[in-house]
């Protein structure tokens, strides 16, 4: 039997394991049950697919969707691994053929849906096989606390009853602690080994945008990504149809997908998207689970998601190949009301309470002024001590004002209504909006009524939520959260504690989303290889990514291998794929190099599994050139026609990518020393505490530049 690493290289084309994979595989080979919590793109499937090649019998994979089964089986067969599925798309004759293949030991993996166990003849058939492993994919479906509850998953505890000595692997990408506990309890795993990877997807960038002129914001973004694949999520079927049609009218290759479409049309649109015959799928939440399209470069939520789990799972469909991708969410309180209306339709009070709690977490994520990634990871119980530098709140921090008096007005109003009402009602009173409710309680007679009429109800709501998020006022309740006071509230009221709050925006901005990072590739060759891959995929009737991932094509377009031996070093180039497709792709690379007098490059050994660092894009390169000319920040912004904050975002990213940029012309040396000393004293690089300590004489742009420069110096010192 070849070793694990030999099988990994031969069948999957990888030169090493991702974190935890090897340990999980060894535990399964030793007959142990495992629970695996790993984010999308971290290699969960390999954890049971590779043991299937080493164990003597069949591996049974429980999977919730037909599309997921087909996708996995296509990929395994392309790698030379025998695999089949049994589901409702097969005829009785086809199912019998699959069973014969399994009895003859021609297939190593069988994919089935949990509902298959209700078939009276299925369990007797399983007992005719030598079963080495059960893998339960998307295991969060077993829990009512989860967001994709499937009652048939509850029946899977029978596996331990009928096959007590067969190891079970339960795998999921998104599960809060309650769901994790439910999975372990319901499946009755025996002393399972727990593997919990970080939820962090470092290649994803997160942005929340105001849902004002959202369609034009989105189209401006899409025009920069004409050749990229992306998913746009909507709440309603009508929205999905309308947006898809409008995008087609504007020249985009966009299709709709929702549960109300005829099944054949839905399947066709999904196939067109997977096979790169459409660039954009506009869908409801009915789309996505089990879609393994690896080159999705962006996921846009046109409407507010119902919970963080769904948002995390849906954004996780971007960048499965590890390349930089964007996650953009358009936020409005109107969408919140729509979700509340849907929640109220439920007659199950427990589920309603859970739904309101989850919706409140989404609102906190959208309204936050701190790092989005920290909030996302924190929701799943994972601490993240450093801001990511790759979300809108890190790249474009809001300007602040002294908000002490504002906070005092909020606190006085909460106290005036005896801590019995929520943010929306308090905001109405402060803005001086009288209604039947305020009249009934005679709250229009309060001293605080109209004390903030210089600002809108919406602005007061934003400030109140900011105060709550930062712990200056307390929030209690699920469906109807009420505001209450705490010690910080009393300290503010007494003048013992001052507060900085976000400065109101005079006009809504259609904020810029930085360009997605690209690998250092020959674009012309990459497009030629994409076209070649598409032709082969169409001939074989499989999605293009089953042939090769974009990462493989980009490495071919980066290192220009000139012989079959150097082709073996390319990410994803397993022995089977090298034999089937290597010659065609090698000939295309050599022809391009000959025509353009290009030499090949040796792939550096330090680049594990072939991931290549991203250089600056053209817009970043322009900013870099102006920096090196010694221009000030204001001069660079004026020359580029961009906001100073956008230029700072460019410089931050350039510094992170290793560019040597002197910032003395951007921030005085005196201020640099003061900022660094403040960071050391606070033990923090968070912008708000720094701004509060240093005062109005320091701008957020200066803080960001010094922080980014200090991070680069520290990274060089640690090498």
Do 628 and 601 fall into the same domain? no
Q: Are 586 and 550 a contacting pair, CB within 8 Å?
A: no
What is residue 139's predicted lDDT score, i.e. its pLDDT?
A: 84
Residues of the domain holding 710: 618-717
Environment class of 467 (CB within 10 Å of its CB; exposed 0-12, middle 13-18, buried 19+)? buried
Give the domain CATH number at 449. Answer: 1.10.10.10
- Reported as type and span, the H/E element at residue 221 is helix 214-223
Do 209 and 181 fall into the same domain? no
Q: What is the DSSP letter of 153?
A: G
Last residue of a domain, one of 576, 610, 644: 610
What is residue 608's predicted lDDT score, i.e. its pLDDT?
A: 36
- Establish if 346 belongs to a structural domain: yes
What is residue 255's predicted lDDT score, i.e. its pLDDT?
A: 95
Residues β-bridged to residue 206: 327, 391
Do 570 and 652 fall into the same domain? no
What is residue 587's predicted lDDT score, i.e. its pLDDT?
A: 94
Domain count of the fold of the chain? 5
- Establish if 374 belongs to a structural domain: no
The per-residue pLDDT for range 460-496, each reduced to its tens digit, is: 988 998 898 778 999 877 667 889 999 999 999 999 9
What is residue 54's predicted lDDT score, i.e. its pLDDT?
A: 92
- Establish if 509 belongs to a structural domain: no
What is residue 150's predicted lDDT score, i.e. its pLDDT?
A: 73
Residues β-bridged to residue 233: 283, 301
| Cβ neighbours for 347, distance < 8 A, ≥ 6 positions apart | none
What is residue 520's predicted lDDT score, i.e. its pLDDT?
A: 66
Do 426 and 297 fall into the same domain? no
Do 74 and 189 fall into the same domain? yes
- Establish if 74 belongs to a structural domain: yes
What is residue 281's predicted lDDT score, i.e. its pLDDT?
A: 96
CA–CA gap between residue 530 and residue 230 (Å, rounded): 17
Do 184 and 212 fall into the same domain? no
Environment class of 62 (CB within 10 Å of its CB; exposed 0-12, middle 13-18, buried 19+)? buried
- Tell which residue, 506, 609, 442, 487, has the closest CA to residue 15: 609
The per-residue pLDDT for range 608-630, each reduced to its tens digit, is: 333 333 334 456 778 888 888 88
| Cβ neighbours for 8, distance < 8 A, ≥ 6 positions apart | 14, 15, 16, 17, 46, 50
In this structure, what token pair is assigned to residue 395?
């790249």
- Establish if 452 belongs to a structural domain: yes
Do 98 and 57 fall into the same domain? yes
Last residue of a domain, one of 161, 196, 231: 196
Do 191 and 219 fall into the same domain? no
Q: What is the dihedral of CA 572, 574, 577, 578, to 10 degrees?
A: 110
- Establish if 516 belongs to a structural domain: no
Do 25 and 56 fall into the same domain? yes
Do 177 and 239 fall into the same domain? no
Per-position b or e across 222-232, b if 16+ CB within 10 A of its CB: beebeebbbbb
Last residue of a domain, one of 149, 169, 196: 196
The per-residue pLDDT for range 170-212, each reduced to its tens digit, is: 998 877 777 888 888 888 888 889 888 888 888 899 999 888 8
Please state the length of the chain.
Answer: 719
Parts of the chain with a pLDDT under 50: 507-519, 606-617, 716-719
Q: Are 592 and 598 a contacting pair, CB within 8 Å?
A: yes
- Establish if 387 belongs to a structural domain: no
Do 256 and 309 fall into the same domain? yes
Give the domain CATH number at 41. Answer: 3.40.50.300
Q: What is the DSSP letter of 12?
A: I
Per-position b or e across 301-321, b if 16+ CB within 10 A of its CB: bbbbbbbbbbbbbbbbbbbbb
In this structure, what token pair is assigned to residue 428?
């109405």
CA–CA gap between residue 202 and residue 319 (Å, rounded): 10
Q: Are 140 and 179 a contacting pair, CB within 8 Å?
A: yes
- Reported as type and span, the H/E element at residue 470 is none
Give the domain CATH number at 647. Answer: 1.10.10.1390
Q: Give the β-pairing of 168-172 and 193-196.
A: unpaired
Give the domain CATH number at 578. Answer: 1.10.150.80
Task: Compute the mean pLDDT over every residue in the chain, rounded to the nearest whole number.
Answer: 85
What is residue 97's predicted lDDT score, i.e. its pLDDT?
A: 94
Do 364 and 254 fall into the same domain? yes
What is residue 688's predicted lDDT score, i.e. its pLDDT?
A: 64
- Establish if 292 belongs to a structural domain: yes
Axis-axis angle for helices 523-540, 575-596 (nearest 10): 140
């Amino acid at each position: 039997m070849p070793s694990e690493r030999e099988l990994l290289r031969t069948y999957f084309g990888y030169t090493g394991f991702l974190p935890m994979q090897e340990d999980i595989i060894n535990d399964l080979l030793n007959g142990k049950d495992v629970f695996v919590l790993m984010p999308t793109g971290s290699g969960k499937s390999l954890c049971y697919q590779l043991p299937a090649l080493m164990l003597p019998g069949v591996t049974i994979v429980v999977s919730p969707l037909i599309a997921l089964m087909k996708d996995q089986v296509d990929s395994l067969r392309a790698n030379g691994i025998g695999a089949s599925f049994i589901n409702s798309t097969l005829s009785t004759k086809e199912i019998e053929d699959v069973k014969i293949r399994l009895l003859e030991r021609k297939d190593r993996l069988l994919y089935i849906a949990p509902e298959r166990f209700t078939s009276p003849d299925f369990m007797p058939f399983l007992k005719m096989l030598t079963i080495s492993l059960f893998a339960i994919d998307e295991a969060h479906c077993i829990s009512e606390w989860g967001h994709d509850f499937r009652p048939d998953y509850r029946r899977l505890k029978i596996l331990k009853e009928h096959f007590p000595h067969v190891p079970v692997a339960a795998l999921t990408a998104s599960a809060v602690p309650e769901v994790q506990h439910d999975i372990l309890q319901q499946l009755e795993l025996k002393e399972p080994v727990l593997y919990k990877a970080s939820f962090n997807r470092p290649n994803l960038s997160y942005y929340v945008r105001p849902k004002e002129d959202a369609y034009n914001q989105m189209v401006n973004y899409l025009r920069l990504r004409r050749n990229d694949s992306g998913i746009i999520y909507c709440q309603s079927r009508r929205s999905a149809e309308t947006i898809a049609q409008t995008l087609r009218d504007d020249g985009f290759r966009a299709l709709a997908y929702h549960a109300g479409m005829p099944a054949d049309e839905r399947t066709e649109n999904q196939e067109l998207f997977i096979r790169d015959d459409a660039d954009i799928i506009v869908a409801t939440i009915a789309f996505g689970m089990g879609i393994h399209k690896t080159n999705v470069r962006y996921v846009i939520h046109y409407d507010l998601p119902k919970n963080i789990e769904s948002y995390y799972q849906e954004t996780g469909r971007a960048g499965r190949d590890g390349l930089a991708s964007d996650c953009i969410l358009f936020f409005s309180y109107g969408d919140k009301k729509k979700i509340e209306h849907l929640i109220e339709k439920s007659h199950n009070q427990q589920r309603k309470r859970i739904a309101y709690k989850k919706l409140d977490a989404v609102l906190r994520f959208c309204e936050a002024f701190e790092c989005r990634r920290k909030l996302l990871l924190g929701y799943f119980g994972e601490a993240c001590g450093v801001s990511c530098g790759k979300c809108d709140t890190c790249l474009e921090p809001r300007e602040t004002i002294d908000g002490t008096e504002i906070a005092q007005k909020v606190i006085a109003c909460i106290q005036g209504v005896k801590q019995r009402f929520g943010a929306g009602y308090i905001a109405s009173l402060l803005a001086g909006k009288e209604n039947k409710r305020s009249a009934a309680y005679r709250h229009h007679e309060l001293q605080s009524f109209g004390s903030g009429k210089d600002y809108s109800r919406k602005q007061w709501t934003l400030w109140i939520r900011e105060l709550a998020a930062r712990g200056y006022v307390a929030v209690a309740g699920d469906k109807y959260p009420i505001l209450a006071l705490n010690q910080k509230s009393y300290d503010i009221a007494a003048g013992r504690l001052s507060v900085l709050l976000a400065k109101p925006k005079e006009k809504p901005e259609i904020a810029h989303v930085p360009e997605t990072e690209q690998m250092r590739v020959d674009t012309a060759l990459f497009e030629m290889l994409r076209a070649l891959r598409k032709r082969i995929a169409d001939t074989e009737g499989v999605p293009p990514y089953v042939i090769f991932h974009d990462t493989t094509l980009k490495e071919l377009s980066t290192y220009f291998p000139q012989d079959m031996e150097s082709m073996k070093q390319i990410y994803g180039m397993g022995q089977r794929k090298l034999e089937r497709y290597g010659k065609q792709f090698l000939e295309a690379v050599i022809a391009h190099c000959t025509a353009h007098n290009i030499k090949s490059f040796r792939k550096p050994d330090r680049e594990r599994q072939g991931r290549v660092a991203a250089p600056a894009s053209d817009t970043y390169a322009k900013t870099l050139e102006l920096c090196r000319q010694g221009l000030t920040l204001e001069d660079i912004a004026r020359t580029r026609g961009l906001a100073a904050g956008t230029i700072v975002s460019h410089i931050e990213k350039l510094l992170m990518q290793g560019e040597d940029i002197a910032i003395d012309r951007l921030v005085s040396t005196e201020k640099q020393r003061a900022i660094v000393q403040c960071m050391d004293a606070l033990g923090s690089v968070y912008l708000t505490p720094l701004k509060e300590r240093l005062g109005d004489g320091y701008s957020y742009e200066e803080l960001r530049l010094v922080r980014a420069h200090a991070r680069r110096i520290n990274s060089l010192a640690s090498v």
